[in-house]
Structure 1
Amino acid sequence: MDEYRLKGLSCANCAREMEEEIQKLPNGKDAKIFFNSGKLNISKDVDIKKVEKILASDGAVLVRERMDNQGHEEHDHPHGNGPNWKLLVAISFGLFLLAMFTTNWLPVSVTVGLYLAATAISGFQTFIKGIKNLFRLKFNIDTLMTIALIGAFSIGEWKEGTLVAILFGVNEYLEGLGMEKARKSMDSLLKVAPKEAIRIENGIERLVPIQSLNRGDIVLVKAGEKIPSDGVVLEGKSSVNEAAITGESMPVDKGIHDSVYGGSINNEGVLKVEITKNYVDSSLAKILHLVSEAQETKTPTEQFINQFAKYYTPFIMFISFVVMTIPPLFMNGHWGDWFYQGLAVLIVGCPCALILSSPIAIISGITRNARNGILVKGGVYLEELGKIKTIAFDKTGTLTKGKPFVEKTIVYNKDEFFFVSGSIEKSSSHPLAKAVMEEVNKQKISFYDPEEIQTLAGQGIIATMKGEKYFVGNEKSLHHLNLTEEIQRDIDDLKNEGFTLVIISNEENVLGMFGISDQIRPESKEIMDQLKQIGIEHTVMLTGDHEKTAEKVADKVGLTDYFAGLLPDEKVEKIKNLTQKSKTAMVGDGINDAPALATANLGIAMGKGTDSAIETADIVLMQDHLGKLPSAISISKRVNAVIKWNISIALGLKLIALILTIPGWLTLWIAIMSDMGATILVTLISLTVLIESKKESTLMVPS
């Protein structure tokens, strides 16, 4: 399949009709027009000239994008740039004003000629398409407008007919402008990928396209340049801006052996980086691919609107016929007056504002979140996020840092306690040993190398130093001692507080003990408060840890509920129970929480762009913290609210216009203004999603 970019694609309904026409061509059955992103996917075997002809019938221009042999984007532009709508509308409006202000002193034929010229300039494409549709008995907005114009001119309404044509032209231009604004916002996001890289081959620097980079290649990244793909720093030290990946504006220091992301910017130093992933497999490439795809997923609301629009236009045509015939036949109405009213009703049948009510807001919401380092895989997930009432969190690595640390220390023999702890634990790679060493190193003392170390499964370590045995481990390692009431009380107190114990003893006495816990992320408490502020009713923790630890974390973080001692399948059952009560999202790391993420109404993974996180969840927080989760939910709620407002405005203005037919007050220009006004409001309101509100900025917790 070839992919083309389309320019001048302003009407979603028209895009669907053109897609159907292209699919009728030989080998064109799989053709697909993506209105939101302005793209066309089509088989190489389709006659492209015929495709161009179909597109040109609606003012769309085809532009093929491909890569040259240097890897640069190359564009073919043999198709022209389409009409200059601003100029055409300006000329037609000028002729309209000239005709209107010279009516009293120019011959009628000249005035009518000016009106017809103004109509032809601004509405010739609509008229041509409408005439073709009439012969095909195909009724869409172009057909309705053509019938309305012919009808208006046939009863001598030259001024109003011309104004309708001009305003309709302006309306179509505004539709395209709003959609193009949203597309450009998305395109600017997708252009963060670097185009070239400096590859070092046998000591020689060569400028190459990033598509040619392979795993194991060495690249040089100078200050101000983008890192071409995921890799590891071999030489150099610098700070790197990872905003394109994580949405974090603060630079991150990088040195030898540190990993870096493709698309991040080297701020000052020179880095030599070994590529660990081909560009197509890099975090940035996957993100951009998913964001691009996300534009085209249809939300339930969009699907309903598109289905509704199919029946709306025929319904309006029926109403128009009723307005034209019933009052004159049965209510002594004047045929000319009610024929005019019926023409105005036809114009109200334009579904454009209604169809635009959702896609611009959806694209804007996906773009806003992506800029913040929040990857939403589709409009359906964006809409769902705004409806969430319950959020379930994994504990380790999500609410906590997943890194044990010593929170409490009880010392009975200071002279031996820290010395023995450090001497035995210094060579261990166990996470608890590392936590102990971080605490012991604060004492700034020297350690001894044990003569012998023996590991006891489920208990700890026995080490021999200077002929004496020492024990490091949990409560079971104290089986050789008779504990005093004080020591037993201290052990019980630490266990009741949810600590994991590391107890140090010799053959006669307990020297002291460390109370170790998984450090709670500093932002977790604030995040829970913010989630409650934006309408999340329940925050629940699901963990495999024991009851006391879970209770401690839940209390400190401010959760509404928690469930402890859960196996992965039990987490899934809890999620099922929660989803039966309300819309539920599950937040985890995207690896061990995959079943629960898949079971929830919405799966949210976090973890600095890891492959598993990107592949598992519906939404990915590209940071290693929850700081931007409230903002993501707030943006989604805003998008949902905007769509509801847009639908209300689009239908409300049309309903008002239809009600005006009852007393006979509806005019052609009021009808077109109702649609034009709806289009302008829908577009402007949708684009406000791209603007950060003060409320959303307060929901950003710094990392």
Structure 2
Amino acid sequence: MTEPLSRSRFAIGGMDCASCATKIDTAVRRLPGVNDARVSVAAGTLSVEHAPTADLAALQRQVVRLGYTIAPIAGRPSGPGAAAGQAHEHKHEHGAGCHGDHGHEHSHAHGDDHDHGHGDGGAHRHAETSAGTPAGLHGHDHGPMTGPWWRSPKAQLTIASGLALVAAYAVGLMLPQVQEWAFVVAMLVGLVPIARRALAAAFAGTPFSIEMLMTIAAIGAVIIGAGEEGAAVVFLFLVGELLEGVAASRARASIQSLTTLVPKSVRLEDPSGVTEVPAESVSPGQVIVVRPGDRIGADGVIVEGDSTINEAPVTGESTPVAKGPGASVFAGTINADAVLRVRVTAAAEDNTIARVVRLVEEAQETKAPTERFIDRFSRYYTPGVVAVALLIAIVPPLVLGGAWSDWIYKGLAILLIGCPCALVISTPAAIAAALSAGARRGLLMKGGAVLEDVGKITAIAMDKTGTLTAGAPVVTDIVGIDRTEREVLASAAALEAGSSHPLAIAILARAKADAVAVPQAEGAKAVPGKGLSGTVGGRSLFLGSPKAATERATLGSDAGAALSALIEAGKSVSVLLIDDAVAGFIAMRDEPRPDAVAGVAALKSAGVTPIMLTGDNARTAAAVGEMLGMEVRAELLPEDKQRIVRELQAKGETVGKVGDGINDAPALAAAHVGIAMGGGTDVALETADAAVLHGRVLDLAGMVRLSRDAMRNIHQNIAIALGLKAVFLVTTVLGVTGLWPAILADTGATVLVTANAMRLLAWKPR
């Protein structure tokens, strides 16, 4: 029997470009017991799938030899041989969420049919970086870029190399006879750590690393008497690496900065009173007190108090939301008006912000198709560059009688020009920035492959209830026949008082909004399959479906026409009878979200065809579809939705499916991209490929545009990386440029590509 695999995660310091990730990936995969490895430059993490008996201490030593720092990410140890403090988890599949049953105090027969569904994400573990590296393990010049950039080991090495270069120039001016040796010494200050990393990478399976190319070029420069240029090239290389590190740190911090939104402490209520405790110490079930103006320290449910909550830090929604007892609140949001007592529903490591950060980091460990292609290309590209440089160095002198020093110099310049840094970072930098920018605006995508696929969508199948609509009915019309509208509403609300049925909630909410006084009903009871009955002010009342009402009273022609018009509009109508005479109608419907019309229009303008797929009745669905201007397929079972998705794909469409991730699991699985629509912790993140946390229809078009903007950025980066190399390749062979411009071209291209990718961090939906 094959023993189960475990997964461990580590924080890597000093990993600032894709070539760094490639070296670590290659070295780790060669170790015994390692089944798979995923490295994220953006998150600064290494995730390893391995046998429980694998020697993780040897793995850490291998990474340190490459010049990086490594620390286990704390988690739940599991499996034999799990070292203390190391993060392990057995590999397993997550199931879909569950359905909740909703009880109703009264039975209704108001005649509407909704396709409700509630997704529930699976459980997530939290990763927290431990404070240090294992005993005896020390990184080299690739220390982590934390704190001010000038304090990092990389910056200190760069500064030392620069000072050595200046000192060599000074020595050369005073003692010209030792100038060449002074530059050799200056070069060695920066080259020794680079060469050490090059050798470690070579022994670990990456012989053609950027450090190896740099080492060969620098040593070659000394051999042909160009020590001054060799020292300058080493310094410029270190400057380029430092700039990469600063840019990578900025990208990494962009998503991690979300964690700073959660306060460090909360006011915990217990039998002895209210005390201030660390936020990470509270557990589900405990109650915290949140004062006006404070950030909420945990996900939870309000148990006492009414206030408006500013959710912009989490969802991006600019308008504060009014919330009271029973409403959910998220960690990091701001309580505006009144004191709230909140029952905690999630530990600190599983709150909304922690889940978002974790999902983005895990997504950044998954490579996009373009990134995988670039990785494969670079494996052949770099050896090819070495071969070309070697041919340029030896063929002209041997065949054409050229000067050896001139052509070796050109060959060394070609080596530097061919460094693949700018090329291999062109894709992951843009993807990491795009994933981070999307997450900060409530658009979650599970990896670069999903990011690419979203932009290719040409048709998008969408649920009605809870996706295009708010998911709960509201009162749209009140028609008085022989009573005023306020009297009709008051009488209906009297019968519905205390009910938790969605239609009852809608009627009571409308009465509250219109400030209608609700009288006390006597003897209120459910009439099975028909409606509700009771007495108010000595009069007999009945509220029920049109069919049940016509069994008790006769509708006049005007009343019948009004009722038919409401039903034709796809609304659920309740008829109110007072003393067995028609008093009026109350019509309700699950209305489109406020941004649904604009969202559907934005999808169309992006070249995406929206289609409504719903299990709701055809009349209601058609009415909503007409309001939104989109094609409708109604009264569908889950297998029908899957079949329609397959039909669209057969026509050549790239299909996205938007739903709750539970009722629509077959269609979500069949689509090219499954997108969960919801809010905060209720989103079905485990089922879908992507999620819109705000629940806004407009954000679907925003997600498509973010994907396309990211792919445009990637293509620009590739053009910059290859274009500059092509130009300097020609000028070097022609003798116009040499070693200095060559390294400037490589460093410049890397900086330009990184800076261009970082523009995506400021992305905003149009």
**Same-fold status (TM-score > 0.5):** yes
- Cα pair distance change 1:558/1:168, threshold 3 Å: same
Structure 2 equivalent of residue 75 of structure 1? 131
- Aligned match of 2:361 in 292, 295, 298? 292
3-state SS of paired residue (1:406): strand
Q: Do residues 687 (structure 1) and 753 (structure 2) align?
A: no
Following TM superposition, by how much is the alpha carbon of 1:679 offset from its aligned partner in structure 2, in angstroms? 0.2
- Cα pair distance change 1:460/1:672, threshold 3 Å: same
- Cα pair distance change 1:284/1:418, threshold 3 Å: closer
Q: Do residues 532 (structure 1) and 604 (structure 2) align?
A: yes
- Aligned match of 1:126 in 194, 198, 206? 194
Structure 1 equivalent of residue 41 of structure 2? 35
Counterpart contact for 1:248–1:373, Cα < 8 Å: no
Paired residues for 1:189-588 under 5 Å: 189-205=258-274, 208-210=277-279, 212-222=281-291, 225-267=294-336, 269-414=338-483, 421=492, 424-425=495-496, 429-436=500-507, 442=514, 444=516, 449=521, 455=527, 457=529, 460=531, 472-475=544-547, 477-478=549-550, 486-504=558-576, 510-533=582-605, 535-559=606-630, 561-580=631-650, 581-588=652-659
- Cα pair distance change 1:613/1:63, threshold 3 Å: closer
Aligned Cα root-mean-square deviation (Å)? 3.9
Counterpart contact for 2:474–2:590, Cα < 8 Å: yes
3-state SS of paired residue (2:184): helix
Q: Do residues 645 (structure 1) and 713 (structure 2) align?
A: no
Counterpart contact for 2:42–2:252, Cα < 8 Å: yes
Q: Do residues 6 (structure 1) and 75 (structure 2) align?
A: no
CA distance in 1, matches of 2:43, 2:488: 65
Q: Do residues 630 (structure 1) and 698 (structure 2) align?
A: no
The AA in structure 1 aligned to 2:660 is D
- TM-score (ref. length: structure 2): 0.79
3-state SS of paired residue (2:283): coil
3-state SS of paired residue (1:216): coil
CA distance in 1, matches of 2:549, 2:452: 54
Higher mean alpha-carbon deviation, 376-385 vs 436-445, is at: 436-445
- Cα pair distance change 1:636/1:512, threshold 3 Å: same
Counterpart contact for 2:683–2:691, Cα < 8 Å: no
The AA in structure 2 aligned to 1:360 is A
CA-to-aligned-CA distance 1:450-484 (integer Å, 9 cap, x gap): 76866353x55677887978673224642577766
Paired residues for 1:595-606 under 5 Å: 595-606=666-677
CA distance in 1, matches of 2:545, 2:658: 33
Higher mean alpha-carbon deviation, 44-53 vs 426-435, is at: 44-53
3-state SS of paired residue (1:613): coil
CA distance in 2, matches of 1:256, 1:315: 67
CA distance in 2, matches of 1:211, 1:602: 35
Following TM superposition, by how much is the alpha carbon of 1:367 offset from its aligned partner in structure 2, in angstroms? 1.8
The AA in structure 2 aligned to 1:113 is W
Aligned-pair identity (%)? 34
How many residue pairs end up in the alignment? 690
Following TM superposition, by how much is the alpha carbon of 1:618 offset from its aligned partner in structure 2, in angstroms? 2.0
Following TM superposition, by how much is the alpha carbon of 1:208 offset from its aligned partner in structure 2, in angstroms? 4.7
Higher mean alpha-carbon deviation, 330-339 vs 667-676, is at: 330-339
CA distance in 1, matches of 2:267, 2:515: 48
- Aligned match of 2:69 in 58, 61, 67? 61
CA-to-aligned-CA distance 1:194-229 (integer Å, 9 cap, x gap): 554444443255555555533332333445554443
Note the residue ranges of structure 2 that are not aligned, 5 or more in a row: 1-6, 76-83, 86-126, 142-152
Following TM superposition, by how much is the alpha carbon of 1:514 offset from its aligned partner in structure 2, in angstroms? 3.8
Counterpart contact for 2:554–2:582, Cα < 8 Å: no
CA-to-aligned-CA distance 1:504-542 (integer Å, 9 cap, x gap): 457986554344322222221122233334x24312212
Higher relative contact order (CA 8 A, sep 6+): 2
Following TM superposition, by how much is the alpha carbon of 1:357 offset from its aligned partner in structure 2, in angstroms? 0.9
CA distance in 1, matches of 2:192, 2:376: 29
CA distance in 1, matches of 2:548, 2:597: 35
- Aligned match of 1:621 in 692, 709, 714? 692
Structure 2 equivalent of residue 670 of structure 1? 741
Higher mean alpha-carbon deviation, 79-88 vs 510-519, is at: 79-88
3-state SS of paired residue (2:317): coil
- Aligned match of 1:164 in 233, 238, 259? 233
Q: Do residues 143 (structure 1) and 151 (structure 2) align?
A: no
Counterpart contact for 2:73–2:128, Cα < 8 Å: no
Higher mean alpha-carbon deviation, 634-643 vs 653-662, is at: 653-662
CA-to-aligned-CA distance 1:279-298 (integer Å, 9 cap, x gap): 44544443333233222111
3-state SS of paired residue (2:473): strand
The AA in structure 2 aligned to 1:565 is E
Counterpart contact for 2:221–2:230, Cα < 8 Å: yes
CA-to-aligned-CA distance 1:85-135 (integer Å, 9 cap, x gap): 4454345445546766886x6655422023212211232222344467789
Counterpart contact for 2:724–2:749, Cα < 8 Å: yes
Higher mean alpha-carbon deviation, 390-399 vs 334-343, is at: 334-343
CA distance in 2, matches of 1:49, 1:567: 53
Paired residues for 1:86-125 under 5 Å: 86-93=155-162, 96=165, 108-125=176-193
CA distance in 1, matches of 2:730, 2:506: 74
Counterpart contact for 1:171–1:679, Cα < 8 Å: yes
The AA in structure 2 aligned to 1:62 is I
The AA in structure 2 aligned to 1:60 is Y
CA-to-aligned-CA distance 1:168-217 (integer Å, 9 cap, x gap): 22222222222122112222223444554444443255555555533332
- TM-score (ref. length: structure 1): 0.85
Following TM superposition, by how much is the alpha carbon of 1:406 offset from its aligned partner in structure 2, in angstroms? 3.5
CA distance in 1, matches of 2:497, 2:202: 86
- Cα pair distance change 1:423/1:582, threshold 3 Å: same
The AA in structure 2 aligned to 1:125 is P
Structure 1 equivalent of residue 252 of structure 2? 183
CA distance in 2, matches of 1:9, 1:286: 24
3-state SS of paired residue (1:539): strand
Following TM superposition, by how much is the alpha carbon of 1:543 offset from its aligned partner in structure 2, in angstroms? 1.9
- Cα pair distance change 1:382/1:22, threshold 3 Å: closer
The AA in structure 2 aligned to 1:127 is A
Counterpart contact for 2:423–2:721, Cα < 8 Å: yes
CA distance in 1, matches of 2:61, 2:503: 70
Counterpart contact for 2:541–2:576, Cα < 8 Å: no
The AA in structure 2 aligned to 1:554 is G
CA distance in 1, matches of 2:350, 2:63: 35
Counterpart contact for 2:602–2:698, Cα < 8 Å: no
- Cα pair distance change 1:661/1:427, threshold 3 Å: closer
